[in-house]
Structure 1
């Protein structure tokens, strides 16, 4: 049983903590944060050990009646690996403490590749992460790109890929604080950062992305145009996608016509928070014309990296040398069929 700490109990951190608890080869030692509001109160209600990131945070937590086990330095003495889910750029500052203590660590996609010098996607490069000291689980959009393009690449169908991303404006729970309204904001640079980010995992991918921020918060929507290595039929492409257990083929004609209807389906399935760990790819929208392929899918920005992070823990700690077996175990624990 590997001992794991989660630093940062926000949108991603709380989901990773819950996922760790569901595994039979790792244990959650504690969660660490600076807040003392409803977010950390829910962690208390779940029985998680609470640690404070700063002396000021510890004082505030105690004032709110939260039983604090200690500060971050104490937590780090008890664990084999840290999953850092703190806000963008904060994790990069925490890394030095992990290195000084010889603790393995995982950061999320908001950090740069150079922080760990290894970026992770379970179905693509699990083996290269075995027993490393650190890795970065790439962002939600990059994870979806790697899952779909890796499936096509393994089937020998991928020549190059060009994608357009419609990006949610902000996280749903923060939509009252900012975001955009009655406008769309294109990213100035082409390629947008997701294409080069995917190449940090797989340098051989010929992929270019462009991105537009749109006024909604539920998820991201991708449109892809693929030049294949040969003319292929639709069924051959679908078989390639079916090789990934984390791509879920959905039907537009079954009423799944939008991101909100897809979200409702996963809520009805009983997923916590209605989380969609899979890429939801429209099967009946997918088109093949000779050696060209067109498809679209939806990405749950809050959930898709959760199974990847669990697999990354196994790879870095070496408790499961097989990518296939780790993915099977993670999928079973999270209800991914």
Structure 2
């Protein structure tokens, strides 16, 4: 059993904490944050140990009736590894603390590759992360790119790929704070950052991405045009995608015609928050024309990196050296079939 801390109990942090808590080879020692509102109150309801990130936060927590187990340093003294889910400006400062302490750490996709020198995707480069001191679990969109293009690459089908990303404007629970309405905002730079980010994990990927911010908050939508190495069949492409346990093939003609209907399906499946850990790829929309492949899929940016983070914990701590065993174990615990 490895002792793990979660720093930052927000959209990703609360999901990571819950995922750690149901593993049988790691122990959630506590969560650390500065908040005293309903979010941390839910952590208390789940009987997680609460630690205060700052002295001011500790005072506020105690005045709100929260039982505080200690400060950030107290938590770090008890753990083998930290998963930092704080906003990037805060995470960058925390990284210096972890390095000084000599403690292993994981940061999420908002950080730069240079923060850790290693970027992680379980199906792509698990073994290269074994026993490292740090890694970065790449962003939601980058994770989806590595899963889908990685499957095609393993089948020796991938030549190059060009993708367009329709990006959600903001997180659902922050819709009142910002976002956009009645407009679409293209990212100025091509490639958008996701393509180069995927290459930080797999430098051999020939991929270019462009992105557009759209006025919705449920998920991201990707459209891909892939040049294949040879003329092939739809069946061969689908068989390649099926080699990834974290790609879920869905059917447009079964009523899954939009991101909200897909979300409803996962809610009906009983997933916490309706989370979709998989890439939901439309099987009946997928088209092969000679040596060209066209497909589309949906990405849940609040959930897709959760299984990757659990696998990254195992890799860094060395409690599982086989990527497929870790992926299978994580999948089973999270209900990924």
Alignment of 1:65-144 (within 5 A): 65-144=65-144
* Cα shift at 1:92: 1.2
Q: Where does residue 163 of structure 1 map in the other structure?
A: 163
TM-score (norm 1): 1.00
Deviations 1:213-267 (A, max 9, x none): 0000000000000000000100000000000000000000000000000000000
> d(CA) in 2 for partners of 1:262 and 1:94?
36
> d(CA) in 1 for partners of 2:244 and 2:220?
20
Deviations 1:39-58 (A, max 9, x none): 00000000000000000000
| Structure 1: runs of 5+ lacking an equivalent | none
Q: Where does residue 250 of structure 1 map in the other structure?
A: 250
The root-mean-square deviation of aligned C-alpha atoms, in Å, is: 0.3
Q: Does 1:51 align with 2:51?
A: yes
> d(CA) in 2 for partners of 1:35 and 1:179?
23
Q: Where does residue 20 of structure 2 map in the other structure?
A: 20
Q: Where does residue 153 of structure 1 map in the other structure?
A: 153
State the secondary structure of the residue aligned to 1:89: helix
* Cα shift at 1:101: 1.0
TM-score (norm 2): 1.00
Alignment of 1:224-263 (within 5 A): 224-263=224-263
Deviations 1:286-306 (A, max 9, x none): 000000000000000100000
> d(CA) in 1 for partners of 2:259 and 2:67?
40
Deviations 1:127-174 (A, max 9, x none): 000000000000000000000000000000000000000000000000
* Cα shift at 1:90: 1.5
1:89–1:110 Cα contact (<8 Å) kept? no
> d(CA) in 2 for partners of 1:202 and 1:51?
37
* Cα shift at 1:63: 0.4
Q: Where does residue 202 of structure 1 map in the other structure?
A: 202
Q: Where does residue 177 of structure 1 map in the other structure?
A: 177
Number of matched residues?
Answer: 337
Structure 1 runs (4+) deviating above 3 angstroms are: none
Deviations 1:82-112 (A, max 9, x none): 0000012211111111111110000000000
Q: Where does residue 36 of structure 1 map in the other structure?
A: 36
1:182–1:215 Cα contact (<8 Å) kept? yes
Q: Where does residue 324 of structure 1 map in the other structure?
A: 324
Q: Does 1:213 align with 2:213?
A: yes
| Structure 2: runs of 5+ lacking an equivalent | none
> d(CA) in 1 for partners of 2:325 and 2:276?
21
